[in-house]
Amino acid sequence: MPRDADPITGADDLVELIRTYNPKTDESLLKAAYAFGEEMHAGQVRHSGEPYFTHPVAVAAILAQQQLDDATIITALLHDTIEDTRASYNIVAEKFGSEIADLVDGVTKLTNLQLSSTETQQAENFRKLFMAMSKDMRVILVKLADRLHNMRTIKAMRPEKQLKKARETMDIFAPLAGRMGMQWMREELEDLAFRVINPEARASIMRRFITLQREAGDVIERITGDMRHELDKAGIKAEILGRAKKPYSIWRKMQEKEMGFSRLSDIYGFRLITGSEEDCYRVLGVIHRRWRAVPGRFKDYISQPKSNGYRSIHTTVSGRDGKLVEVQVRTRQMHEVAETGVAAHWSYRDGVRAENPFAVDPAKWIAGLTEQFDAEEDHDEFLEAVKLEMYADQVFCFTPKGDVVKLPRGATPIDFAYAIHTRIGHACVGAKIDGMRVPLWTRIKNGQSVDVITADGQTPQATWLDIATTGKARSAIRRALRELDRDRYVRLGRELARAAFEHVGKKPTDKAMERAAKTLRLKDRDEVLARLGSAELTAQEVLNAVYPDLTPKTGAEVGRDRAVIGLAPDQRFERAPCCQPLPGERIVGITYRGKGVVVHAIDCEALQSFEEQPDRWLDLHWHAGRHAAVYAATLDVTIGNDAGVLGRICTLIGEQKANISDLTFVDRKPDFYRLLIDVELRDAEHLHGVISVLDADSDVAAIERYRDPRRTSGSTEQI
């Protein structure tokens, strides 16, 4: 795909360019769109000072080079009119029809998406992006051409704007172009972004290229001559295209292989374009007879095409002076799809829609791409699935019956099982590759046969999330784990509710839980218990929802407002989360401007940060007397993984008149659980009593008070 055609200086030039592949183009409609766009953008200028309309014209020219239909090119001419001029959807529809108006409106909406914003917004905007693509793929073709021209002219922007656009291009638009099969566009977008993001690295690679060419001469010309000689001897006609790889591609290989430029050998690539599929395999034989093939670097995408329609044979051979050379062999029709990807579906030749048997149906392609995303409810999971799919390269493996399964590179038997059916994935207990039993984390290679071993009663394991690589497998595993977790959370919530209610002399009956659900506006009692078990609700909140007027008998308790002595009348305090000091322990205060005083235990490691600021220290101590049980402390508990153990632990804590406010599992093993339990206590003595009772239980392997000096409430600077 050529980078630049002759510059378009008027409507006639654009029409002439389109006529080269579509003599039946609607000249009058194209010229009307050109005139309308020029009128709407009159007086507007780009950052470079050029008339703004030069940009839509350049975008239209890029799409015309891909031999696209009139509607797509007219959309390019008008793609900024609805957003940046007085034109509206209705005006565009009236003048050019609803099809073009819908396309222009779709591009406008994509332009307004902030794809590089926060993760939650980015995930939602990616949903909108794929929704727009599913309605009409031509919308994203115009957007990619728009981004390509903006990157070609990016030097006119402010440096900070350049960097933002370049990173967005590298992270989103370049991989999207690649996923759509438009490799030429992906490579150019990557290189243009690389020029902005790391200009020193790119310049260094370019200098190395110049030095290499000066020392070794024109390697591409010599290898092309060698290939031409061998093909002529075999009587095979083929076009040979040789080139050095793009600077960013070389830089990425240097980073991945952790080697310098001088040690990187495969920096040249050749494409051999033949007249038939049969000739592709004949060419491959000639190449392998003349040069030694590199093991593990052969891929046949003709017999097993990629999902975006890409077909080609890839091989790497050891050429002159031992240098590795990548060779791709394909037919002319395959080459057109390899260059334009899904855009080949709309390409024209001699005035009619080109019938390319290798062009993938974009509707089917986008349906396959978005199917797995619809099941993702969580923003982070959706975003992860999108990026996994966009960056995926494929391997092809087989079922025991010989059916082909396409998976991304790095896929495991878990991915294979879920690709066959979710039910097979859930029941997977092992796998065989080429007849040999292998661990589930084994990476599948091209051409291998995979046999999944299943068992009744098997359920997905949390560790599978670290093994699976496909979005489909990971989302199915997460959904199953959520259902399993819900049952566990309901059981845990029931124990927490029982302990909390018994603490005030009540019982958490089904009727009481239904009342709590109604008050808290939740679905039913199980939803209350599940949220209580997952720490989304506290036991006190559930208790208050059922008995809002209930006040536990506390006697003459010391209230929190007068718990600490040594503060000024207008000073407020908070306990440091790093050490969680309790009444009865020696304490010291650190002052913060506008924030009050943070109270630390005297032995807290975080106090070392304030040693050079003695003026901020306050000598404090707790008020004597019985305090309210409102001071949280965290317990680090390791318990046996047996039925009823966790419930008994919760009961023991409740019997000590302590309330559990939060519970987090930090490690799960087949024989034990390690968890952090936040318990609301009166004082240090109360803490000692809870720890003593739990430590005496035979199923408690270890227990200690948990403190984290990194968990601070403020910096060392006074604020």
Q: What distance in Å separates the CA atoms of residue 375 and residue 188, rounded to the nearest whole number?
A: 34
The percentage of the chain sitting over the pLDDT mark of 90, rounded to a whole number, equals 18
Tell me, what CATH number does 89's domain have? 1.10.3210.10
Residue 284 lies in a domain: yes
Q: Determine which helix (DSSP H) or strand (DSSP E) holds 227, and give its type and residue range.
A: helix 219-234
How far is 210 from 685, CA to CA, in rounded Å? 77
Q: Residue 647 has which token pair?
A: 């419930």
Domain-located, residue 164: yes
The CATH number of the domain holding residue 236 is: 3.30.460.10
Residues 164 and 234 in one domain: no
Nearest to residue 59, comparing CAs of 153, 194, 160, 183? Answer: 153
Say if residue 111's pLDDT is above 80.
no
Least reliable range by pLDDT among 138-147, 244-253, 377-386, 446-455: 377-386
Give the span between the Cα atoms of 440 and 463, in whole angstroms: 11
What's residue 719's pLDDT?
29
Please give the average per-residue pLDDT across 502-511, as a whole number: 82
Tell which wins on pLDDT, 130 or 582: 582
The one catalytic residue in 13, 38, 83, 99 is 83
The pLDDT assigned to 554 comes to 44
pLDDT at 361 > cutoff 90: no
Q: How far apart are CA 96 and CA 128, in angstroms?
A: 25
CATH number, domain with residue 591: 3.30.70.260
Q: Which token pair is 388?
A: 């996994």
625 and 687 both lie in a single domain: yes
Examine residue 208 and state whether it is found in any structural domain, yes or no. Answer: yes
In a domain, 552, yes or no: no
Range 212-233 average pLDDT? 81
Q: Tell me whether residue 554 is in a domain.
A: no
Examine the domain organization and report whether 26 and 161 are in the same domain.
Answer: yes
8 A C-beta contact, residue 337 and residue 370:
no
Name the least confident of 233-237, 498-502, 574-578.
498-502
Residue 375 has pLDDT above 90, yes or no: no
Q: Which residue has the tokens 């409102």?
A: 630
Q: What is the pLDDT of residues 176-211, one digit of tens each?
A: 787 777 788 888 999 999 999 888 888 887 887 777
615 is catalytic: no
pLDDT in the model for residue 640: 84
One of 16, 27, 84, 326 is an active-site residue; which one? 84
Same-domain status, 584 and 697: yes
Q: Which pLDDT score is estimated for 368?
A: 57
Neighbour-count burial of 449, counting CB atoms closer than 10 A to its CB (0-12 exposed, 13-18 middle, 19+ buried): middle
In a shared domain, residues 327 and 249: yes
- Write down the H helix ranges in 310-394: 332-340, 362-371, 379-390
Q: Is residue 700 part of a domain?
A: yes
Which residues span the domain enclosing 17? Answer: 11-197
* Same-domain pairing of 224 and 133: no
Residues 180 and 263 in one domain: no
**What's the pTM?**
0.53
**What's the rounded mean pLDDT across residues 232-259?**
80
User: Which amino acid is located at 702 in the chain?
Assistant: A
Mean pLDDT across the stretch 13-40? 89
Q: Is 527 a catalytic residue?
A: no
Q: Do 43 and 184 fall into the same domain?
A: yes
Residue tagged 């958490």 (tokens): 508
Contacts of 142 (CB under 8 A, 6+ apart): 59, 63, 72, 75, 76, 79, 103, 107
Q: Would you say residue 113 lies in a domain?
A: yes
**Is the pLDDT confidence value at 671 over 70?**
yes
Counting Cα atoms < 13 Å in the Cβ hemisphere of 108 gives: 20
Question: Which range (21-25, 226-230, 255-259) has the least confidence?
Answer: 255-259
Q: How many domains, in total, are found in the chain? A: 3
pLDDT reported for residue 31: 93
348 backbone dihedrals φ, ψ, rounded to 5°: -120, 155
- Which residues sit opposite 168 in a β-bridge? none
Query: Per the domain annotation, does 538 fall within a domain?
Result: no
Q: What is the mean pLDDT of residues 707-714?
A: 70
CA distance 579 to 107: 54
pLDDT at 408 over 70: yes
Residues 6+ apart with CB under 8 A from 611: none
| Cα(300)–Cα(12) distance, integer angstroms | 44
Q: Which helix (H) or strand (E) holds 202?
A: helix 199-216
Name the DSSP class of 263. G
The whole-number average pLDDT for the span 562-591 is: 86
Statement: residue 2 has pLDDT above 50: no
| Co-location of 225 and 177 in the same domain | no
Do 218 and 186 lie in one domain? The reply is no
Tell me the CA distances in angstroms from 433 to 284, 286, 412, 437, one per residue in order. Answer: 28, 32, 10, 7
d(CA 335, CA 328): 10
Q: What per-residue confidence (pLDDT) applies to 258?
A: 55
Same domain, yes or no: 345 and 222? yes
**Residues present in the chain in total:** 719
Instruction: Single out the residue in 329, 353, 377 at which a domain terminates.
Output: 353
The H-assigned helical ranges of 427-578 are: 464-467, 471-503, 510-520, 525-533, 539-546
Question: To the nearest whole number, what is the mean pLDDT of the chain?
Answer: 80
Residue 555 and residue 625 in contact, taking contact as beta carbons nearer than 8 Å: no
SS3 state of residue 311: coil
User: Which of the listed residues 353, 378, 394 is the one where a domain comes to its end?
Assistant: 353
Verify that 213 and 134 share a domain, yes or no: no
pLDDT in tens, 587-633: 999 888 766 899 999 888 888 888 788 788 888 888 877 888 889 99
Tell which residue, 409, 477, 422, has the closest CA to residue 448: 409
Banded pLDDT at 108 (limits 50, 70, 90): confident
> Among residues 336, 353, 370, which one ends one of the domains?
353
Q: What was the pLDDT predicted at 240?
A: 92
